[in-house]
Amino acid sequence: MDIQIIDRGGDRRLTLYAADTKTYQHFDGLPPVDSSAAHMRWHPLRREWIGYATARQSRTHLPSVADCPLCPMSEADKPSDIPVDDYEIAIFTNRFSAFAMEAAPAPDIAEIATQKGTGLCEVISYSADHNASLATIGTKRIALLIKALGHHITQLYQHDDIIWSLPFENRGREIGVTLDHPHGQIYSLSVLPNAIKTMAEAMAEDSPLAEMHVTCPETQKLAETDTAFSFVPSWARYPFESWVMPKRAVDGPHQLTDAEITDLAEMIAATAQKLDAVMDGPMPYTLAWQIAPKGYEGRYHFHLTFQPLKRSKTKQKFLASVEQISGLFLVDLPPERAAAILRGDEMIDG
Ligand SMILES: [Zn+2]
């Protein structure tokens, strides 16, 4: 894997990953936006941190293809966030960050605790092709994506202030995506959100994922190779929720062998394709790469979760009152039926 790191000053860094050695033509990219005012405030009843980041209000919103900041640059007067003439995988610091490694002191606010918004927000572009997606970039590119994330997370975890990194993707305008170019993001945080801590502790105590490749009903498996598989879990909270994981418990992509990376890439591609196939078009979703937080190494099972936002071709799944207020999810489509539809054994309604 060819890795080229371009420091652009302060937190700003561009890392280019390619399968083979590459030479790039460089340009001046878009200027930075000051994110240092990011801070967190403690919610005394929910007992969790809330992030405040005013710099994000001005972020780029659904630009035309000609103005896409994730497309490679070909002209010096059309600056991009990825100021090179071509790339395979690019990771760069988000100009509109919710956190900053050099965050300013948090404001004093009566009666509640505050702290600096220490962290790092990055964007990861999967392809120079504006119209690609995880379902179309191919297993070789996804394998490179897995390797790139493994390398990058290892670097991020060397920061003392970072205790957990979350690579994720918001896909589709239904979920509020502001750029159509195929990309994900990486949030690296100095605090561990409650939901992630609960999940990590459950895995550390008695992981239901340890033997999942054996215990998962065959009818809920979507695809399988020697070392990886994809399935609809019996506890799915979203319609068509699909998980992808290596059979061997590892902390993250950095611990996978080349054979496991190849297999995992195949499973990610197959799952993304199945989700699009049932919709006859792009399925909007959130995708999480669940990597071990610091302190849980060796007691974790790295996995990916696709959380789709459509329950049929014409109906969207909204998180409404009960889900938003209480966290209790209400699911119209039983996981067993969702698996049957994704496998092509049953037809989708509507
Ligand atoms: Zn683009």
Q: How many other C-beta atoms are found inside a 10 Å radius of the C-beta of residue 212?
A: 18
Q: Residue 344, by phi and psi: left (phi above 0), alpha (psi -120 to 50) or beta?
A: left
Instruction: For domain 209-350, give the CATH number.
Output: 3.30.428.10
Both tokens assigned to 149: 């994330």
How far apart are the CA of 133 and the centre of ligand 1, in A? 11
How far apart are the CA of 258 and the centre of ligand 1, in A? 30
Show the beta-strand stretches assigned E in the chain.
2-7, 13-18, 39-43, 48-52, 89-93, 114-116, 119-125, 164-171, 183-189, 221-224, 228-231, 242-246, 285-290, 303-308
Mean pLDDT per 10-residue segment, the chain (350 residues): 88 92 88 82 96 73 81 82 94 90 90 94 96 96 98 97 97 83 96 97 94 96 98 97 98 98 98 96 96 97 97 89 93 95 90
| pLDDT at residue 61, rounded to an integer | 67
How far apart are the CA of 72 and the centre of ligand 1, in A? 8
pTM reported for the whole predicted model: 0.95
pLDDT digits (tens, 9 = 90+) for 281-325: 999 999 999 999 999 999 999 999 999 999 889 888 888 899 999
The dihedral through the CA atoms of 179, 184, 189, 191 has a sign that is positive
| pLDDT at residue 182, rounded to an integer | 93
User: Are the beta carbons of 336 and 219 closer than 8 angstroms?
Assistant: yes
In the chain, residues under CATH classification 3.30.428.10 are 1-191, 209-350
How far apart are the CA of 314 and the centre of ligand 1, in A? 27
How far apart are the CA of 128 and the centre of ligand 1, in A? 7
Both tokens assigned to 103: 């965050």
How far apart are the CA of 29 and the centre of ligand 1, in A? 15
How far apart are the CA of 270 and the centre of ligand 1, in A? 24
DSSP secondary structure, 217-279, as one string: -GGGEEEE-SSEEEE--TT--STT-EEEEESS--SSGGG--HHHHHHHHHHHHHHHHHHHHHH
How far apart are the CA of 296 and the centre of ligand 1, in A? 37
| pLDDT at residue 59, rounded to an integer | 64
How far apart are the CA of 96 and the centre of ligand 1, in A? 17
**CA dihedral of residues 133, 136, 142, 144 (deg, nearest 10):** -90
β pairing state of 164-171 and 183-189: antiparallel
| pLDDT at residue 44, rounded to an integer | 95
How far apart are the CA of 124 and the centre of ligand 1, in A? 12
Q: What CATH class has 1-191?
A: alpha beta
Q: Determine the straight-line distance between the first and last CA of the chain, rounded to whole angstroms.
A: 45
How far apart are the CA of 180 and the centre of ligand 1, in A? 7
| pLDDT at residue 10, rounded to an integer | 72
| pLDDT at residue 60, rounded to an integer | 67
How far apart are the CA of 346 and the centre of ligand 1, in A? 36
How far apart are the CA of 307 and the centre of ligand 1, in A? 24
How far apart are the CA of 69 and the centre of ligand 1, in A? 6
Both tokens assigned to 69: 């900041």
How far apart are the CA of 293 and the centre of ligand 1, in A? 32
| pLDDT at residue 167, rounded to an integer | 98
Q: How many other C-beta atoms are found inside a 10 Å radius of the C-beta of residue 106?
A: 18
